[in-house]
């Protein structure tokens, strides 16, 4: 039997047979890690319950939980959830890139989103899914039921990259559509005009949503460790360029660091949480960020 920590590794998860299995094992590995770690204050065992309060109906007490814990908890129902979360996954062609990582950027984003959806429903939060490139390709409104979760996982299972990046148009469409204040989690390589990206993210903040940006990159996009000669092809335009990567590696890394720093600083100014991920990053990074955010916004 594999150690549960291994299920936080993209190269392991990518070999599993279904998105539902991937999501479940990532979350179980994550929770096992929390129990062994110094992270205190995160309760996941009884996330589908809340403590019994005077006035609650006695018939809703979970007697099995009482027997295990000697405490009174009642089962929560979907309408009692305090949070609606939206997973926004970029499916533009640039997300199909795979260089130094074990999976494409799109696959990594899909696995991470699936694990977060699984965890959110376990926490009794309502979760929905949006996929987009230049336009919104799929919109699944948020719910908190396990049956509904299967729809989200099925959609993530069959994602394909296609179309050019157009975050401003797509995300503004989403921002206009969701009315109730919620948590918006964006998964993208952010390979778009920065001013357009920031305008769209500001739209969510203007509407009082909490926002987390997961900036998904491939390790080679960060370190530029290619061979002495290479041909680079733009995945969206098809344009090709032949060069010797080692000659421009230093300049490229500086430009990439500036690119990341720009988004980090701009997001901080807008009170947007920004997390840089590459496709070799264990999944607990994103899940822990969600729990930190969840605890800060309360509910």
Judge if 74 and 182 occupy the same domain: no
Lowest-pLDDT choice from 30-34, 204-208, 269-273: 30-34
Q: Which helix (H) or strand (E) holds 89?
A: strand 84-90
pLDDT digits (tens, 9 = 90+) for 125-157: 899 999 999 999 999 999 988 889 999 999 999
Question: Average pLDDT of the chain?
Answer: 85
Judge if 34 and 149 occupy the same domain: no
Q: Which helix (H) or strand (E) holds 7?
A: none
128, 84 Cβ separation under 8 angstroms: yes
29, 159 Cβ separation under 8 angstroms: no
| Residue 53, domain extent | 4-78
Q: How far, CA to CA in Å, does 107 sit from each of 50, 68, 87, 190, 237?
A: 35, 39, 14, 16, 21
Judge if 278 and 177 occupy the same domain: yes
Q: Which of 32, 53, 78 is the last residue of a domain?
A: 78
Given this model, what pLDDT does residue 69 score? 74
Two tokens, residue 159: 């994602």
Judge if 234 and 251 occupy the same domain: yes
Lowest-pLDDT choice from 62-71, 154-163, 194-203: 62-71
C-alpha span between 206 and 228 (Å, rounded): 47
Average pLDDT over residues 110-120: 97
Judge if 168 and 235 occupy the same domain: yes
Judge if 190 and 55 occupy the same domain: no
pLDDT digits (tens, 9 = 90+) for 201-218: 999 999 999 999 999 999
C-alpha span between 120 and 49 (Å, rounded): 13
Q: Which of 36, 54, 78 is the last residue of a domain?
A: 78
pLDDT band (50, 70, 90) for residue 40: very low
39 pLDDT above the threshold of 50: no
CATH of the domain at 139: 3.40.50.410
pLDDT band (50, 70, 90) for residue 14: very high
95 pLDDT above the threshold of 50: yes
Judge if 20 and 166 occupy the same domain: no
**Beta strands 230-233 and 240-243, pairing class:** antiparallel
pLDDT band (50, 70, 90) for residue 75: low
Judge if 40 and 127 occupy the same domain: no
1 pLDDT above the threshold of 60: no
Judge if 127 and 27 occupy the same domain: no
pTM of the model: 0.82
pLDDT digits (tens, 9 = 90+) for 174-233: 999 998 899 999 999 999 999 999 999 999 999 999 999 999 999 988 877 765 555 556
Judge if 167 and 59 occupy the same domain: no
Judge if 133 and 274 occupy the same domain: yes
The total domain count for the chain is 2
C-alpha span between 161 and 203 (Å, rounded): 25
Given this model, what pLDDT does residue 99 score? 87
41 pLDDT above the threshold of 60: no
Judge if 30 and 120 occupy the same domain: no
Q: Which of 23, 43, 78 is the last residue of a domain?
A: 78
249 pLDDT above the threshold of 80: no
Q: Which helix (H) or strand (E) holds 133?
A: none
Average pLDDT over residues 252-273: 94
């Amino acid at each position: 039997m594999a150690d549960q920590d291994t299920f936080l590794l993209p190269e392991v998860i990518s070999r599993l047979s279904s998105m539902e299995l991937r999501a479940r094992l990532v979350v179980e590995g994550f929770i096992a890690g929390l129990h062994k770690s110094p992270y205190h204050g995160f309760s996941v065992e009884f996330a589908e319950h809340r403590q019994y309060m005077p006035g609650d109906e006695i018939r809703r007490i979970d007697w099995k939980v009482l027997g295990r814990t000697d405490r009174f908890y009642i089962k929560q129902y979907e309408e009692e959830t305090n949070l609606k979360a939206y997973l926004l996954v970029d499916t533009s062609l640039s997300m199909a890139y795979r260089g130094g990582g074990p999976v494409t950027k799109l696959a990594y984003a899909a696995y991470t989103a699936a694990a977060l959806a699984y965890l959110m429903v376990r926490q009794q939060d309502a979760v929905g899914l949006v996929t987009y490139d230049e336009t919104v390709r799929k919109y699944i409104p948020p719910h908190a039921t396990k049956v509904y979760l299967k729809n989200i996982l099925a959609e993530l299972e069959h994602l394909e990259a296609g179309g050019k990046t157009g975050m401003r148009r797509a995300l503004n469409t989403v921002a206009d559509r969701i009315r109730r204040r919620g948590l918006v989690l964006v998964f993208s390589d952010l390979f778009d005009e920065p001013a357009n990206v920031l305008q769209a993210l500001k739209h969510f903040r203007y509407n009082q949503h909490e926002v987390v940006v997961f900036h998904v990159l491939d390790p080679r996009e960060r370190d530029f460790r290619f061979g002495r000669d290479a041909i680079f092809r733009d995945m969206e335009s098809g344009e090709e360029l032949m060069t010797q990567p080692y000659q421009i590696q230093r300049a490229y890394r500086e430009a990439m660091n500036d690119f990341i720093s720009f988004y980090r600083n701009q997001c901080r100014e807008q009170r947007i949480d920004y997390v840089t991920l590459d496709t070799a990053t264990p999944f607990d990074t994103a899940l822990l960020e969600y729990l930190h955010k969840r605890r800060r916004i309360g509910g």
